[in-house]
Amino acid sequence: MKFNFAEIGGEYVSVKSAGNLSTLFDVGGIVGGIIAGHLSDKLNARATTAATFMYAAIPFMLLYRFYGDVSMTMNIVLMMIVGLFVNGPYALITTAVSADLGTHSSLRGDSRALATVTAIIDGTGSVGAALGPLLTGFLSTVGWDKVFMMLMVCALIAGLLLSRLVSAEIADWLKKKQCTNGQCFGGAFPFGSDILCYLLLSFPVFD
Protein backbone atom coordinates (compact mmCIF):
# COMPACT_ATOMS: atom_id res chain seq x y z
CA MET A 1 0.00 0.00 0.00
CA LYS A 2 2.92 2.32 0.60
CA PHE A 3 3.50 2.80 -3.15
CA ASN A 4 -0.18 3.30 -3.92
CA PHE A 5 0.00 7.11 -3.95
CA ALA A 6 2.58 9.17 -5.86
CA GLU A 7 1.24 12.26 -4.12
CA ILE A 8 -0.41 12.80 -0.74
CA GLY A 9 -2.10 16.11 -0.06
CA GLY A 10 -0.58 17.51 -3.24
CA GLU A 11 2.99 16.69 -2.14
CA TYR A 12 5.28 14.18 -3.81
CA VAL A 13 5.95 11.05 -1.75
CA SER A 14 9.51 9.78 -1.99
CA VAL A 15 10.46 6.13 -1.61
CA LYS A 16 11.95 6.94 1.80
CA SER A 17 8.75 8.61 2.97
CA ALA A 18 6.69 5.72 1.65
CA GLY A 19 8.85 3.30 3.59
CA ASN A 20 8.47 5.33 6.76
CA LEU A 21 4.71 5.46 6.30
CA SER A 22 4.54 1.69 5.88
CA THR A 23 5.84 1.19 9.42
CA LEU A 24 2.60 2.73 10.71
CA PHE A 25 0.76 -0.31 9.36
CA ASP A 26 2.74 -2.45 11.80
CA VAL A 27 2.20 0.05 14.61
CA GLY A 28 -1.53 -0.33 14.06
CA GLY A 29 -1.01 -4.08 14.02
CA ILE A 30 0.58 -3.99 17.47
CA VAL A 31 -2.45 -2.16 18.86
CA GLY A 32 -4.75 -4.49 16.96
CA GLY A 33 -3.09 -7.58 18.40
CA ILE A 34 -3.52 -6.25 21.95
CA ILE A 35 -7.17 -5.32 21.37
CA ALA A 36 -7.97 -8.61 19.65
CA GLY A 37 -6.34 -10.59 22.44
CA HIS A 38 -8.19 -8.64 25.13
CA LEU A 39 -11.56 -9.05 23.41
CA SER A 40 -10.88 -12.72 22.80
CA ASP A 41 -10.16 -13.37 26.47
CA LYS A 42 -13.01 -11.15 27.63
CA LEU A 43 -15.63 -12.71 25.38
CA ASN A 44 -14.07 -16.17 25.12
CA ALA A 45 -14.72 -16.00 21.39
CA ARG A 46 -11.52 -16.14 19.41
CA ALA A 47 -13.06 -17.01 16.04
CA THR A 48 -15.76 -14.35 16.36
CA THR A 49 -13.17 -11.74 17.25
CA ALA A 50 -10.91 -12.68 14.34
CA ALA A 51 -13.80 -12.78 11.83
CA THR A 52 -15.12 -9.41 13.03
CA PHE A 53 -11.71 -7.83 12.57
CA MET A 54 -11.38 -9.27 9.05
CA TYR A 55 -14.80 -7.99 7.99
CA ALA A 56 -14.07 -4.58 9.52
CA ALA A 57 -10.81 -4.36 7.55
CA ILE A 58 -12.68 -4.42 4.23
CA PRO A 59 -14.41 -1.00 4.38
CA PHE A 60 -11.29 0.64 5.82
CA MET A 61 -9.16 -0.68 2.96
CA LEU A 62 -11.71 0.81 0.59
CA LEU A 63 -11.56 4.13 2.45
CA TYR A 64 -7.76 4.08 2.31
CA ARG A 65 -7.84 3.52 -1.43
CA PHE A 66 -10.06 6.52 -2.13
CA TYR A 67 -9.15 8.92 0.68
CA GLY A 68 -5.57 8.02 1.58
CA ASP A 69 -4.18 10.74 -0.68
CA VAL A 70 -6.34 13.55 0.74
CA SER A 71 -3.77 14.50 3.36
CA MET A 72 -0.85 13.04 5.24
CA THR A 73 -2.91 12.92 8.44
CA MET A 74 -5.72 11.00 6.71
CA ASN A 75 -3.20 8.59 5.22
CA ILE A 76 -1.57 7.91 8.59
CA VAL A 77 -4.86 7.38 10.41
CA LEU A 78 -6.30 5.05 7.79
CA MET A 79 -3.02 3.16 7.46
CA MET A 80 -2.95 2.46 11.21
CA ILE A 81 -6.62 1.46 11.30
CA VAL A 82 -6.14 -0.98 8.42
CA GLY A 83 -3.07 -2.40 10.19
CA LEU A 84 -5.10 -2.74 13.38
CA PHE A 85 -7.84 -4.81 11.74
CA VAL A 86 -5.56 -6.88 9.49
CA ASN A 87 -2.75 -7.74 11.91
CA GLY A 88 -4.99 -8.15 14.97
CA PRO A 89 -6.43 -11.51 13.84
CA TYR A 90 -3.00 -12.62 12.60
CA ALA A 91 -1.51 -12.26 16.07
CA LEU A 92 -4.54 -14.03 17.54
CA ILE A 93 -4.43 -16.98 15.14
CA THR A 94 -0.69 -17.60 15.38
CA THR A 95 -0.67 -17.61 19.19
CA ALA A 96 -3.87 -18.28 21.10
CA VAL A 97 -5.58 -20.34 18.42
CA SER A 98 -2.53 -22.51 17.80
CA ALA A 99 -2.30 -23.14 21.54
CA ASP A 100 -5.97 -24.14 21.64
CA LEU A 101 -5.59 -26.51 18.70
CA GLY A 102 -2.40 -28.00 20.07
CA THR A 103 -4.08 -28.96 23.33
CA HIS A 104 -7.41 -30.02 21.80
CA SER A 105 -9.05 -33.11 23.28
CA SER A 106 -8.86 -34.90 19.93
CA LEU A 107 -5.07 -34.98 20.33
CA ARG A 108 -5.47 -36.98 23.54
CA GLY A 109 -3.39 -34.67 25.66
CA ASP A 110 -0.32 -34.82 23.43
CA SER A 111 1.12 -31.40 24.22
CA ARG A 112 3.95 -32.00 21.75
CA ALA A 113 1.43 -31.51 18.97
CA LEU A 114 1.40 -27.82 19.86
CA ALA A 115 4.69 -27.30 18.02
CA THR A 116 3.35 -29.14 14.97
CA VAL A 117 0.13 -27.15 14.87
CA THR A 118 1.98 -23.86 15.32
CA ALA A 119 4.41 -24.77 12.53
CA ILE A 120 1.53 -25.62 10.19
CA ILE A 121 -0.19 -22.30 10.90
CA ASP A 122 3.01 -20.29 10.48
CA GLY A 123 3.93 -22.24 7.35
CA THR A 124 0.55 -21.56 5.79
CA GLY A 125 0.97 -17.88 6.64
CA SER A 126 4.36 -17.90 4.93
CA VAL A 127 2.76 -19.21 1.75
CA GLY A 128 0.35 -16.28 1.81
CA ALA A 129 3.20 -13.87 2.54
CA ALA A 130 5.03 -15.18 -0.53
CA LEU A 131 2.05 -15.13 -2.89
CA GLY A 132 0.72 -11.76 -1.71
CA PRO A 133 3.59 -9.57 -3.02
CA LEU A 134 3.73 -11.67 -6.19
CA LEU A 135 0.05 -11.03 -6.94
CA THR A 136 0.40 -7.39 -5.90
CA GLY A 137 3.27 -6.84 -8.32
CA PHE A 138 1.29 -8.36 -11.15
CA LEU A 139 -2.01 -6.60 -10.40
CA SER A 140 -0.34 -3.20 -9.82
CA THR A 141 0.63 -3.13 -13.48
CA VAL A 142 -3.07 -3.34 -14.31
CA GLY A 143 -4.16 -0.82 -11.69
CA TRP A 144 -4.12 -0.29 -7.93
CA ASP A 145 -7.87 -0.78 -7.81
CA LYS A 146 -7.26 -4.42 -8.67
CA VAL A 147 -4.73 -4.72 -5.85
CA PHE A 148 -7.17 -3.43 -3.28
CA MET A 149 -9.90 -5.64 -4.69
CA MET A 150 -7.61 -8.62 -4.18
CA LEU A 151 -6.88 -7.58 -0.59
CA MET A 152 -10.56 -7.13 0.22
CA VAL A 153 -11.48 -10.47 -1.34
CA CYS A 154 -8.77 -12.18 0.72
CA ALA A 155 -10.11 -10.56 3.90
CA LEU A 156 -13.64 -11.66 3.01
CA ILE A 157 -12.53 -15.24 2.35
CA ALA A 158 -10.63 -15.31 5.65
CA GLY A 159 -13.76 -14.20 7.49
CA LEU A 160 -15.94 -16.75 5.71
CA LEU A 161 -13.54 -19.58 6.51
CA LEU A 162 -14.09 -18.81 10.18
CA SER A 163 -17.88 -19.00 9.82
CA ARG A 164 -18.22 -22.53 11.17
CA LEU A 165 -16.19 -21.71 14.27
CA VAL A 166 -18.15 -18.49 14.74
CA SER A 167 -21.41 -20.42 14.53
CA ALA A 168 -20.17 -22.89 17.12
CA GLU A 169 -19.23 -20.05 19.48
CA ILE A 170 -22.64 -18.45 19.05
CA ALA A 171 -24.32 -21.77 19.75
CA ASP A 172 -22.27 -22.21 22.90
CA TRP A 173 -23.13 -18.68 24.01
CA LEU A 174 -26.83 -19.31 23.44
CA LYS A 175 -26.72 -22.51 25.45
CA LYS A 176 -25.09 -20.69 28.32
CA LYS A 177 -27.90 -18.13 28.17
CA GLN A 178 -30.36 -21.01 28.50
CA CYS A 179 -31.99 -20.39 25.18
CA THR A 180 -34.73 -22.98 25.54
CA ASN A 181 -38.49 -23.17 25.14
CA GLY A 182 -38.55 -19.98 23.08
CA GLN A 183 -37.25 -17.88 25.97
CA CYS A 184 -34.07 -16.59 24.41
CA PHE A 185 -31.61 -14.26 26.10
CA GLY A 186 -33.59 -14.25 29.32
CA GLY A 187 -36.23 -12.03 27.77
CA ALA A 188 -33.72 -9.27 27.12
CA PHE A 189 -34.84 -8.91 23.50
CA PRO A 190 -38.32 -8.23 22.10
CA PHE A 191 -40.40 -10.52 19.91
CA GLY A 192 -38.45 -12.25 17.20
CA SER A 193 -35.65 -13.30 19.54
CA ASP A 194 -37.25 -16.73 19.92
CA ILE A 195 -37.28 -17.02 16.12
CA LEU A 196 -33.58 -16.11 16.03
CA CYS A 197 -32.91 -18.69 18.70
CA TYR A 198 -34.71 -21.39 16.74
CA LEU A 199 -32.88 -20.58 13.50
CA LEU A 200 -29.49 -20.58 15.20
CA LEU A 201 -30.07 -23.82 17.04
CA SER A 202 -31.40 -25.42 13.85
CA PHE A 203 -28.15 -24.68 12.04
CA PRO A 204 -26.36 -28.02 11.31
CA VAL A 205 -23.19 -27.08 13.17
CA PHE A 206 -25.14 -26.84 16.43
CA ASP A 207 -26.08 -30.50 16.42
Residue 183 DSSP one-character state = B
Q: What pLDDT digit, counting tens, does each position of 86-106 carry? A: 988 887 777 666 666 666 666
Q: At what angle do helices 193-202 and 163-176 cross, to 10 degrees?
A: 130
Residue 45 DSSP one-character state = -
In a domain, 133, yes or no: yes
Our count of domains for the chain comes to 1
In a domain, 34, yes or no: yes
At residue 199, does pLDDT exceed 80?
Answer: no
Model confidence, pTM: 0.72
Q: Per-residue DSSP letters for 108-170?
A: TT-TTHHHHHHHHHHHHHHHHHHHHHHHHHHHHTT-HHHHHHHHHHHHHHHHHHTHHHHHHHH
Q: What pLDDT digit, counting tens, does each position of 64-77 carry? A: 888 888 888 888 89
In a domain, 35, yes or no: yes
23: domain range? 7-162
Distances (CA, A) of 57 to 47, 81, 174: 15, 8, 27
